[in-house]
Amino acid sequence: MLKIYHNARCSKSREGLEILEKSGREYEVIEYLKEPLSENELEQLVKKLDIAPIQLVRKNEKVWKENYKDKDLSDRELITVMVKNPKLIERPVVETERKAVIGRPPSDIEKLL
């Protein structure tokens, strides 16, 4: 089953959800700001995305600029930072059993379907 890591306040995330609704496929909505991912879950998601953790970070967020921007963080430290500050996780992310994609632009989600 598909999973979408969703933030209802984000227009791109809402667009991604609409794509899933129109696909007719079953999916689960995970509001990751309300239900934060564990370090292990986030590590697995990064592996499915096939990216470095830094590529999942929203670098324009205030918390990033004020606390982490100029630090040289390891991948493990980046995962920990995103778990503690889920607002830093790029959105939306759609996941299958084997792969995942960041929905920026939302049309990238269609590649996963």
- Per-10-residue mean pLDDT of the chain, 113 residues long, equals 96 96 96 96 98 98 97 98 98 97 95 91
How high is the pLDDT of residue 76? Answer: 97
Give the catalytic positions in this structure.
10
Enter the pTM of the model.
0.94
Question: Omega before 105 cis (within 30°)?
Answer: yes
Which residues are registered as beta bridge partners of 93? 5, 102
How high is the pLDDT of residue 12? Answer: 95
| Structural tokens at position 37 | 């991912």
Dmax of the chain from CA atoms?
A: 44
**What class, spelled out in words, does domain 2-112 have in CATH?**
alpha beta
8 A C-beta contact, residue 60 and residue 69: no
**In terms of DSSP H, where are the helices of 24-107?**
39-49, 62-67, 75-84
